[in-house]
Chains A and B, each alone.
Chain A
Amino acid sequence: MALASIDVGLLFEVVWASALAGAVVSTLFALVVLFGARSAEGRRAGRSTVAMVYGTAAVLSFTGFMGLVVYAVHLMLSKG
């Protein structure tokens, strides 16, 4: 009888939202590290254009990651 009270829809929402958020966080930060590393390689090799392109991509990925962090803080502050 107790099990009947469980909201299966809510559980499903928790599962997919968590999975999506986790995958996005991991992917964004992995891209920060990847582009950062390639930018550094480009700089070392004297290819400034390549370094700048990868550097910009790293900054954009990091901005996306930090956007998620700010959104997370916003969620913390707005919880009821």
Chain B
Amino acid sequence: MDNDVVLWIVVATALAFDFTNGFHDTANAVATSISTRAMAPRVAVALAAILNFVGAFLSLQVAATIASGIVEADMITLAIVFAGLIGAIFWNLLTWYFGLPSSSSHALIGGVVGAAFAAEGPDAVIGEGIIEKVAIPAVMAPILAFVVAGVGILVTYRIVGRQRPSTVSRGYRLGQIITGSLFSLSHGTNDAQKTMGILFLALVANGNLSADDDIPTWVVVSAATAIALGTYVGGWRIIKTMGSRIIKMDPAQGFSAQGSGAAVILAASHAGFPLSTTHVISGGIMGAGAAKRVSAVRWGVAGNIVFAWVLTLPASALVGALTYLVVHLFGDGAAGPVVVSGVLLVALGIAMARRVFQGQTLTAEG
């Protein structure tokens, strides 16, 4: 009975993470398209949501490999997964609040690493895995995208520079719809799988499934729905940062950031070296801006974003570890996850109520 309660709390938390993953990463696909008016904001997020939903069904390569090669898989328990998810959700919400794009995958890895460290000590964490799968891709992705997008926009200006600006802009807005759609589809095939993997792992750990079973349809549908809903809600603060606060971009720059970004992500993924979509598109936007004029990039904003990337792993690890310790205080049963979830839901309710109340006050005064 206790195990079932923990299982369903983990399922609900995983879907909540999936939702935050969706709205946090909406900006990756739509920010440049909205900024250059290639698409109306609501149309852009609706298209991104639909393609994320479709993408989740296209690739079902769900090995239950959460933080695989980074923490010792046989030491992972439901409590560690739960605490890791809380760490990741916390970081996603915090960075969203400040409008900073950051990697949801790295936040999830950080949360699980922190919880595993708190539960089992340093033996649970594979240092080489963190360097190889988190640190190097985190450094490489934005630099590579920066250079590729920079070269891309220079090639673009060289070829179309003497054409009428209105004609060029119209053409690149069309191109942005295609590359933005590619980004969304790619996001659905990648990120929804993480949640499916967590749900599958939880069901296997609880004895509901064996590791050889197919992934249940309800897992696929719920993960796809959660990420699509999150995408549709849209993390508008991050969209604003990526779309207009890093550089003021024209449609050719938006296309170059997205097109080069998609090329970098797929080439790297094909070579067996997955990179963060967020890091790539952010680096691409900066590269497309800097290639036109170095001072076109607001380096202060870019610096804040890089600072958030550096903090992602340690901050989510810290919250994951603290959550695990609190859960552990209540023993191995369901009490810990129930109390932590209850407290977080109440806190979330209060925050939303305050937001609604403040909105009403502003309306009344306005």
Q: Which residues on A are within 8 Å of B, measured CB to CB?
A: 1-3, 5-6, 10-11, 13-15, 17-27, 29-34, 36-37, 40, 66, 69, 72-73, 75-77, 79-80
Q: Is the CB of B155 within 8 A of A26?
A: yes
What 0/1 readout, one digit per residue, does chain B (221-238) give for beta carbons within 8 Å of chain A?
000000000000000000
- Take A10-B271, A33-B168, A36-B171 as given contacts and tell me if A26 and B259 are in contact as well, using a CB distance cutoff of 8 Å: yes
- A61→B144 CA distance, assembly (Å): 26
Point out residues on B near A: beta carbons under 8 Å.
Answer: 55, 58-59, 61, 127-128, 131-132, 136, 140, 144, 147-149, 151-153, 155-156, 159-160, 163-164, 167-168, 171-172, 175, 178, 182, 185-186, 189, 255-256, 259-260, 262-264, 266-273
Q: Closest approach, in angstroms, between the C-beta of B96 and any C-beta of chain A?
A: 26
Q: Are B128 and A29 in contact (CB under 8 A)?
A: no
Chain B facing A: main interface SS: helix
Query: Would you give the shortest CB distance from B270 to chain A, in whole angstroms?
Result: 5
Q: Is the CB of A18 within 8 A of B148?
A: yes
Q: When the two chains form the complex, which single residue of A6, A17, A20 contacts B270, counting CB atoms closer than 8 Å?
A: A17
Least CB distance, A75 to chain B, in whole angstroms:
5
**Other-chain contact of A27, B155, B266, B268 (Cβ < 8 Å):** B155
B167-A22 in contact (CB<8A)? no
Taking CB atoms, residues of chain A closer than 8 Å to B55 are 76
Cβ of A29 to closest chain B Cβ, rounded Å? 5
Query: Which of A21, A33, A79 meets B267, CB within 8 Å?
Result: A21
Inside 8 A of A11's CB, which chain B residues have their CB?
Answer: 136, 140, 273
